[in-house]
Amino acid sequence: MGIFLGAFSYPLHIYHSSALFLMNLVPNRIAYQSLFKIIFYLMRQNLLKDYLIYLESQMQEPDLSIEISGFKMGNPLMLASGILGTTIASLRKVFEAGAGAVVTKSIGYEPRAGYENPTLVEVHGGYLNAIGLSNPGIREFYNELLESKIDDLPLIVSLFGSKKSEFRYMTSLLDKLNIKAYELNLSCPHVMGFGNEVGQDPKAVRRIIESVKEETKKPVFVKLSPNVKDIVEIAKVAENSGADALTVINTIRAMSIDIETFRPILANKIGGLSGPAIKPIAVRCVYEVSKEVKIPVIGCGGIMNWQDVIEFFLAGARAVQIGTAIAYEGLSIFEKIKKGIRDYLIIKGKKSVRDIVGLSHDF
């Protein structure tokens, strides 16, 4: 059912949304409250059903499609790297569940076993993980892609490395395949010699991006870390070095200790925090970065529902990545969020998701 027909079987907030659309011209709060009560009563009695069917038929369906540096997506929701991105089969399953694009688990030059368990623990406000960038290595991953059907898959490959020669080799190898874009992981918070250690050095960031851009004409996204002195500075370096878009942010460096055993819970001691606890930090970073760069920003960090996604758009993101929410909601989260975005745009009278990007910058 649509936004109005759903009012006959969905919770109170749906009634409220329907009433809001009908009351755009209500002059004051008292009139709003009175009209809401009348509409609520009529809806409960099914007396407005035929009118609402007509009203919904007259609405223009909002456009959820976006384009980032030539990379077109049917909707602005991406699977974040590290979540169900280990095989092409799992990535395809996420795409079929409603994601507009899927990002692989980060792949490195050589295979990595990662850290010993425990590598993941649920904490208040999300998850703390230190997987250790475990991956099969670029050659095995390339062979899997070669044997898989990926032409119709909006596939973004996440890459990590310690030096520009590794990034250059991986890009040149993968570029022979129908990959849609790359995401450079310059922000992992818990592996020595990779990720954040590279991403907080402006010179290293520049060298790596320029080396990758020399090997491909496909879009190159750069995933930034909040664990730096000034994320805007790094964002500008990435933009000036040729990055086509920025993913903001990766997980936040954190830890948890067992008070009974006195030991850090993760085998690596330090991990990366994800989940709703980091969303306000991610929104702030997206807001600050998007105001200072001209290239698109992809929001990531703590998204749990459609309201969170709208907040990222208003902050300046053109697309978002979803990760931890899948652990709580399953793959149905993509369709739930898409419906929420659609209904929100209709209520606000917006024709496209692009119309709300960065609106908070006006204040």
Q: Is 73 helix (H, G, I), strand (E, B) or coil?
A: strand
Alpha-carbon separation of residue 325 from 83, 330, 336 (angstroms): 10, 7, 12
Sign for the CA dihedral angle at 271, 277, 280, 282 comes to positive
Burial profile 186-207: b = 16 or more Cβ within 10 angstroms, e = fewer? bbbbbbeebbbbbbbbbebbbb
d(CA 73, CA 334): 14
Pairing mode, strands 252-254 and 245-248: unpaired
Sign for the CA dihedral angle at 297, 300, 306, 312 comes to negative
Clarify whether 285 is annotated catalytic: no
For residue 56, count CB atoms less than 10 angstroms from its CB and return exposed for 0-12, middle for 13-18, buried for 19 or more: middle
Is there a cis peptide before residue 226, judged by omega within 30 degrees of 0?
A: no
d(CA 300, CA 309): 9
d(CA 11, CA 234): 44
**CA nearest 38: which of 60, 23, 57?**
23
Which one from 66, 77, 170, 188 is the annotated catalytic residue?
Answer: 188
**CA nearest 234: which of 202, 207, 211?**
202
CB 119 within 8 A of CB 266: yes
**Mind telling me the catalytic residues?**
188
